[in-house]
């Protein structure tokens, strides 16, 4: 896909996410890796619902601005995933309501934020890690993500929101949406003793689909 098409795709998906209330105001950001190793990334203080393809920030492989508006201050989040997850070609970071709410619950396991609730959550988002709170734009959050050693393609930042990567922008967006919907399901069912997927059912998914599950106890009642 050429640069013009990638710019248009960022704007298309950004508007879709914004219009459905998945990231309010000027929150959230999107990046896509370029064939030359640089990136396209949404500008700082830009609403994902009103992006201009011509003003998308273009960065060189070292993260320096080449053209467009000043980039989002959340560059460290994106760079950490690109550096540690080799197949990453796009990153989506939102402030989606249910995913943020999930990070505030005391019972959340940082190594597996959500239980295996649905097959499509596992197939698209894999397993999700929780990173402790850092102020927005703090470079330390990148070190925390790097500390996950590329084992996760979906991460939740405590009291902040999801950061999800994919093989292309469509995959990253779909995985982010699946994470948000699964967080919503968890909150709806919390305290009701729901039936999750069994270990055998999870293993069956792993045999048939490229499910990314770091070594962890997946067995839930």
Residue 2: CB atoms within 10 A of its CB come to 8
The HSE-up count of residue 52 (CA atoms within 13 Å, CB side) is 7
For the chain, state the CA radius of gyration. 17
| Candidates 13, 82, 120, 133; catalytic one | 120
- DSSP-derived secondary structure for 52-112: -GGGSEEE-TTS-EEESSPBPTTHHHHHHHHHH-TT--EEEE---HHHHHHHT-TT-BTTB
Q: Is 133 tagged catalytic?
A: no
Least Cα distance to 161 among 59, 72, 84 occurs for 72
Catalytic residue numbers read: 120
């Amino acid at each position: 896909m050429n640069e013009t098409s990638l710019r248009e795709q960022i704007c298309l998906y950004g508007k879709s996410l914004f219009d459905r209330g998945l990231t309010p105001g000027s929150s959230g950001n999107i990046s896509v890796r370029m064939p030359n190793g640089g990136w396209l990334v949404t500008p700082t203080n830009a609403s994902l619902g009103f992006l201009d393809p011509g003003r998308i920030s273009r960065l060189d492989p070292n993260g320096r601005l080449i053209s467009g508006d000043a980039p989002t201050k959340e560059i460290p989040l994106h760079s950490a995933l690109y550096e540690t997850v080799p197949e990453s070609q796009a990153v989506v970071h939102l402030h989606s309501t249910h995913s943020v709410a999930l990070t505030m619950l005391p019972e959340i396991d940082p190594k597996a934020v959500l239980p295996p609730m649905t097959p499509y959550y596992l197939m698209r988002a894999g397993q999700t890690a929780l990173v402790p709170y850092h102020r927005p734009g703090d470079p330390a959050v990148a070190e925390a993500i790097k500390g996950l050693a590329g084992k996760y393609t979906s991460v939740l930042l405590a009291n902040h929101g999801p950061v999800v990567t994919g093989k292309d922008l469509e995959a990253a967006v779909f995985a982010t949406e699946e994470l948000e919907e699964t967080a919503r399901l968890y909150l709806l069912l919390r305290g009701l003793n729901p039936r999750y997927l069994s270990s055998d059912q999870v293993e069956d998914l792993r045999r048939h689909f490229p499910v990314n599950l770091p070594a962890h106890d997946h067995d839930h009642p």
